[in-house]
Copies of this chain bind each other. A is one copy, B any other.
Amino acid sequence: MHSKLTDHIKKFIELTEADEQLINSAVVVKTVKKKAFLLQPDHICKELYFVSNGCLRLYFINKKLNEQITQFAIENWWLTDYVSLDSGSPSFYYIQAIENTEVISITKSKLEELFIAVPKLERYFRIVQQRAFAAAQTRIKYIYSMSDEERYWHFNSLFPAFMQRIPQYMLASYLGFTPQFMSKIRAKKG
> Which A residues are within 8 Å of any B CB, using their own CB?
60, 62-63, 68, 70-71, 81-83, 86, 92, 115, 119-120, 122-123, 125-126, 129-134, 136-141, 143-145, 176
Secondary structure dominating the interface of A: helix
For residue A117, give the distance in angstroms from its CB to the closest CB of chain B: 14
CB neighbours (8 Å) of A60 from chain B are: 141, 145
Copies of the chain in the assembly: 2
Q: Which residue of B lies closest to A93 (CB)?
A: B141
CB neighbours (8 Å) of A62 from chain B are: 144-145
CB–CB A129/B133 < 8 A = yes
Using known A-B contacts A129-B130, A133-B132, A140-B139, determine if residue A145 contacts B83 with beta carbons closer than 8 Å: no
29 contacts between A and B (CB under 8 A): A60-B145, A62-B145, A63-B145, A68-B141, A68-B144, A68-B145, A70-B137, A70-B144, A81-B137, A82-B131, A82-B133, A82-B134, A83-B134, A86-B130, A86-B131, A119-B120, A119-B122, A119-B123, A122-B122, A122-B123, A122-B126, A123-B126, A125-B126, A126-B126, A126-B129, A129-B132, A133-B133, A139-B140, A140-B140
